[in-house]
Amino acid sequence: MNVLIRSTSLILGLTLAGAAAACGGESAAPGTAAPAATAVTNPVDPATAGTITGSVKLDGKPPAAATINLSSDDYCAQQGPKTTRAFVVDGDGLQNVFVYVKDGLGNLKFPVPTTPVVLDQKGCWYEPRVSGIQVGQPFNIVNSDETLHNIHALPMNNREFNRGQRLKGEKYTTVFTTPEVMVPFKCDVHKWMNAWIGVLPHPFYAVSGAGGSFELKGLPPGTYTVEAWHEKLGTQTQMVTIGAKESKPITFTFKV
């Protein structure tokens, strides 16, 4: 029987030692205070700034939207039927594509806006589903629903966090410290709720809207790598050169 006791203790000890040894290196959730905007002179001369305009097209027929089972939360069910939102198509335009300047800005630094970017939980959806933000810019997560949500950010380069919001009107403010395209969000309570945010060191990003159109304004003349990201279809890049005051149209076409 002593052997039994010793064996059990050994197994317990090994299990816990393994867990403890592997537990290090985790980081705490990010702070809640939003820092003031960094005072950096805007390197863009408005007199010469150009624009990249364009649209994102979808070539092919997107998968049919599937009906979401809302039976796990009566409140969500009362908000009306829901279908999956991975493909939001307007004509042949594809919406919710994050378009941004990936390369070409060199070492230019840009002022950080103090206006927060808001991610709202409304009607048991994230609004907006896709958005962008600058490093250091305040990021507000709001619950507009009369049900509980958890906001679980799953970044690779920034700090992971998971916050609960049980009351309507609750707000959580944080900032991202490192550029990262894209940071996914999910609600573990409501599995269909997903959102993505692109974190950049500059303000040259957009999300395709009606007709798949987008616009990147105020760019200094130069040659840029522009990337388009879609949650299911991946990324595409294009090289674009714009001159002073020039408006250059480009088109991304994703195939399904």
Partner 1 sequence: MRHFFASLVAASTAVLIFAGGLVTSTESGLSVPDWPTTYGYSMFTFPLSKMVGGIRYEHTHRLIASTVGFLIVMLAIWLWRTEPRAWVRRLGYIALGAVITQGVLGGITVLFFLPDPISIAHASLAQIVFSLTMTIAVVTSPGWMRAYSTHGPAPDDRRLQRIAIVTAAVVYVQIIVGATMRHTGAGLAIPDFPLAFGQLIPPQWDEKIAIHFAHRIGALIASVCVLATTAHVFYHHRGRRELVRPSILLLVLVATQLTLGALTVLSHKDVLINSLHVVTGGCVLATSVVLALRAHRARFAAASIAGSTGAGSTEQDPAYTVGVPSRGHA
Footprint on this chain of partner 1 (rule: CB under 8 A): 1-2, 4-5, 8-9, 11-12, 15-16, 18-19, 21-23, 26, 72-76, 147-148, 150, 152, 160, 162-164, 166, 187-191
* Of 41 and 74, CB closest to partner 1: 74
Q: How far is the CB of 28 from partner 1 (least distance, A)?
A: 9
Kindly provide the residue ranges of all beta strands, DSSP E only, lying in 144-233, ordered along the sequence. 149-153, 161-165, 171-174, 180-186, 194-200, 205-207, 213-219, 222-230
Which residues of the chain form beta strands (DSSP E)?
A: 50-59, 89-90, 93-94, 98-103, 117-122, 125-127, 130-134, 139-143, 149-153, 161-165, 171-174, 180-186, 194-200, 205-207, 213-219, 222-230, 234-242, 247-255
In the complex, least distance from residue 125 CB atom to partner 1, rounded to whole angstroms? 14
Residue with tokens 């594509």, as numbered in its chain:
97
85 versus 217: smaller Cβ distance to partner 1: 85
User: For residues 22 and 47, which CB has a smaller minimum distance to partner 1 in the complex?
Assistant: 22
Q: 96 vs 158, which CB is nearer to partner 1?
A: 158
* Min dist. Cβ of residue 178 to partner 1 (A): 18
Peptide bond into 128 cis (omega under 30): yes
Residue 8: CB minimum distance to partner 1, A: 6
